[in-house]
Structure 1
Amino acid sequence: MKRGYSLEEMEHSIADVLIICSTYNQEKYIGDALRGFISQKTDFPFQVLVHDDASTDATPQIIRDFESKYPEIIKGVYEEQNQYSLGNFHWYNEYLERSAARYIALCEGDDYWVDPCKLQKQFDAMSKCSECNFCITNALLMDADSGELIGKMMPRNKRDESILSRGPLLDPEDMMSLEFIPTATFFADRRTWLKEPKCPSGAFSGDRAHQLYLASSGTSIYLEDCTAVYRVNAQGSAMASWNVDRSARIASIEKYVKLYDHFNRYTDDKFADVVRSFRDDRVLSLMYAQGSKRLLPFDRAWAAASRRGSRYCLLLILLHIAPGLVTRLWERQVG
């Protein structure tokens, strides 16, 4: 059962941009996210839906404190039962269906915005491009333990560097090919977002899924400004759990493979060449994790290993000689 901002209230909202913020047990971080929202300077109205997924720490109270100070901007939605554990990842879609906002922006509770003009920059860029449905910016990486900024999030490799140099307008294949983009900078056309198909059970349905489907809808925009901070291995994040739980990490890889398969079916293999390299990369990790040599033809496995570097080529050779050793190495975070 949800408490707080209702669907009926959403129907009367005049916001042009609706910000979606999901949080769970993030009392250390959520204040930064909320301060980033209220600091935005825009010439249009916006609202923030902050979804607390039945936190057991002080997160709900922090949200309520901000809600009482900024009632026109911050709208809390409070769960009595954790929805993520029930597989309800897209709690916000029913709000989007009732909303009249032109655009949706994302920022999870452990990330935050550092540019007070972030929303305005993305709003202006999208408004000037009729064929554009998706916009991202660059972001800064922060070590969650030390609080130290450790560089820009993009580009992550030479392929990303080449793609981003062709910006700010990116075609579908280029946007899909970016390896890891900042979720905290997602800014999209609301109607296009709602057309995204539901992923099948067992397929990853998070940020990478949104990236693929939004990119496939038309031209995307990349702004090079660093408007947000992405915390690396923040407490309670999925990535942090993958680093300590082998089974969770394997399950995550399998979900990505299912996502890529579903996306190819949905798009009738229109982007199969782009997607295959990412799918093969995930399958290669499964090969290392499970000590299996037969999940990919050797030429495709070698191509995937080569894209990741010489260390992974060596692992692939070892896999055919001593698969048990490769599995142990992978468990030590090599893979």
Structure 2
Amino acid sequence: MGANEFGLSEKIEGKTNEILVSIFCSAYNHELYIRDAIHGFLEQRTNFRYEIIIHDDASTDKTAEIIKEYEQKYPKLIKGIYQTENQYSKCDENRKYLYIYNQIIKNCRGKYIASCDGDDYWIDPKKLQMQADYMEKHPECVMTAHNQIVADCKDFKIMPFNTGIESGMIDPSELIQQKISLQPSSRMYIRKALKLNRFLREFGIADYPFLLYLLEKGSVYYFDRIMSVYRRNTKGSWSESVTSCMENKMFFVLEMIDLVETYNNDTRKKFNIACICQIQRMAYYALDSFGEKSKEGFIEWCQKYEMHLNKKHRNILERLMKIYRMISNIEYLDEALCEFTRNNPKLFIMGCGKYAGIIGRKLEFHKIKFEGFVVSDNQEKPEEHLKKPVWRLSDIDKKDSSIIIGISPIIWEEIISAIEERGIVNYICPFLI
């Protein structure tokens, strides 16, 4: 393949010596995919110089040979870093990502870093130019990203990654709750933002913690334009390893909850509601993973692995176990809920679904009196639920009424908005981790 096919002379001649963008690509056993990635880099059309840094972590296939082939053809553009021993496997979970951080700092010269995994690839030759142009004009912006195609290597489905999201600044709460997902191969961020703090030292610069870290540094802009392909569930990929067994799912959830709780505290609860919602989402992802298995299944798993966890993760696991007992055992009432029912005689249960039913049956089992159920004002209201009357929030006395929230806290933002809008201050959610 000749140099002119990729317009090599356009990239080098007549441009300033300063490297504006460094492309950083991590590869391991990507011989089936790495050519696509490199072609996407070489096909970029820019009015500035960029470099391509490809780190091979001692692949056992022909990945390194392929990288060297292109490095020899394009020595002014491509720099390969070749490990003789796999560095990723030598590090603990967080050090793995700090190792990548060190490689970026050591080898990348650009003002901006454009990342791409070796099994993903770019399909738009204007990608780098568009992202760099925006960031040059908006110094407050620390990262740009764009839409992409998801190609699932397990079920062979192809679809857009994000739908219904327009170009523009991204609300941090949307990123924290992962309502918008910005895969690494779509991102370009400013290099000077790469400064290790306590949070990054603890959790590394993996995709999600690094994204949270950047939210504190400036704004994030999104292009609703498909400019890359994200391969999901490739052999040996992170997505495959997390979903492959229950143990991996649970360890992932514990780490994620720890991460978001730490971030919420470190930022002095700047994004408190969004963080709470994300924590609940991860908790119920874990609980729901057991599906219709026996009630003992989750508790057995917890007891099996509890002693292998650090103190913070054990604490999270205990809270998950409490919620699981609340859901699965009609006799179980946690201490906080017991005290709430003793101190507040005029009780209402918010909701008319699964979780409200669980609370209602628990209270009846323990012969605890409650008035009935309430729903938000914009919700359809049945006349009765479990043979108890149903009111709207606006119909009850906000001064004397106390509410037990019987709704999945995954939608905590909506729940709190509805309650506080009515001026109700006395409430508890027994399903909140």
TM-score (norm 2): 0.61
What's 2:27 paired with? 23
Whole-Å separation in 2 of the counterparts to 1:274 and 1:50: 36
Amino acid at match of 2:120: D
- 2:264 equivalent to 1:264: yes
Greater gyration radius = 2
Q: Note the residue ranges of structure 2 that are not aligned, 5 or more in a row.
A: 1-16, 291-297, 300-319, 327-354, 356-404, 414-430
Whole-Å separation in 2 of the counterparts to 1:197 and 1:72: 37
**Offset of residue 245 of structure 1:** 2.4
Change (3 A) 1:60 1:295: farther
- State how many pairs are aligned: 286
Q: Note the residue ranges of structure 1 that are not aligned, 5 or more in a row.
A: 1-12, 156-160, 308-319, 321-335
Contact 1:40 1:119 survives alignment (8 Å): yes
Which whole-Å deviations, capped at 9, do the CAs of 1:216-261 have from their partners, x for residues lacking one?
A: 2221111111010011211110111223222122211222112112
What's 2:40 paired with? 36
What's 2:64 paired with? 60
Contact 1:53 1:81 survives alignment (8 Å): yes
Contact 1:176 1:215 survives alignment (8 Å): no
What's 1:215 paired with? 215
What's 1:294 paired with? 322
Contact 2:277 2:412 survives alignment (8 Å): no
Whole-Å separation in 2 of the counterparts to 1:176 and 1:145: 27
Correspondence 1:77-226 to 2 at 5 A: 77-87=81-91, 88-98=96-106, 99-144=108-153, 150-155=158-163, 161=164, 164-165=165-166, 167-179=167-179, 180-195=181-196, 197-199=198-200, 201=202, 203=203, 205-226=205-226
Which whole-Å deviations, capped at 9, do the CAs of 1:125-157 have from their partners, x for residues lacking one?
A: 1111121111000001112257x56221003xx
**Offset of residue 92 of structure 1:** 3.8
SS of 1:107's equivalent in the other structure is strand
**Offset of residue 306 of structure 1:** 9.6
Structure 1 counterpart of 2:410, from 304, 307, 311: 304
**Offset of residue 100 of structure 1:** 4.2
Change (3 A) 1:259 1:204: farther
Change (3 A) 1:302 1:216: same
Contact 1:97 1:194 survives alignment (8 Å): no
Contact 1:102 1:189 survives alignment (8 Å): yes
Whole-Å separation in 1 of the counterparts to 2:73 and 2:33: 18
Contact 2:260 2:279 survives alignment (8 Å): yes
Contact 2:243 2:249 survives alignment (8 Å): yes
**Offset of residue 272 of structure 1:** 1.7
Contact 2:199 2:263 survives alignment (8 Å): no
SS of 1:194's equivalent in the other structure is coil
What's 2:399 paired with? none
Contact 1:134 1:188 survives alignment (8 Å): yes
What's 2:390 paired with? none
Superposition misfits of 4+ residues, deviation over 4 angstroms: 195-198, 295-301
- 2:57 equivalent to 1:48: no
SS of 2:194's equivalent in the other structure is helix
Contact 1:204 1:256 survives alignment (8 Å): no
Whole-Å separation in 2 of the counterparts to 1:196 and 1:43: 34
**Offset of residue 181 of structure 1:** 1.9
**Offset of residue 58 of structure 1:** 0.7
Deviates more, 1:191-200 or 1:205-214: 191-200
Contact 2:21 2:113 survives alignment (8 Å): yes
Change (3 A) 1:95 1:275: same
Whole-Å separation in 2 of the counterparts to 1:300 and 1:220: 36
Amino acid at match of 1:118: K
Deviates more, 1:49-58 or 1:288-297: 288-297
SS of 2:227's equivalent in the other structure is strand
Whole-Å separation in 2 of the counterparts to 1:174 and 1:304: 14
Change (3 A) 1:301 1:232: farther
Whole-Å separation in 1 of the counterparts to 2:265 and 2:172: 17
- 2:277 equivalent to 1:277: yes
What's 1:231 paired with? 231
Contact 1:54 1:79 survives alignment (8 Å): yes
**Higher-RCO chain (CA-CA 8 Å, sequence separation at least 6):** 1
Quote the sequence identity (%). 29
Whole-Å separation in 1 of the counterparts to 2:41 and 2:90: 28
Change (3 A) 1:61 1:225: same
What's 2:316 paired with? none
SS of 1:41's equivalent in the other structure is coil
**Offset of residue 197 of structure 1:** 4.7
Whole-Å separation in 1 of the counterparts to 2:77 and 2:98: 21
**Offset of residue 94 of structure 1:** 3.1
Contact 2:176 2:278 survives alignment (8 Å): no
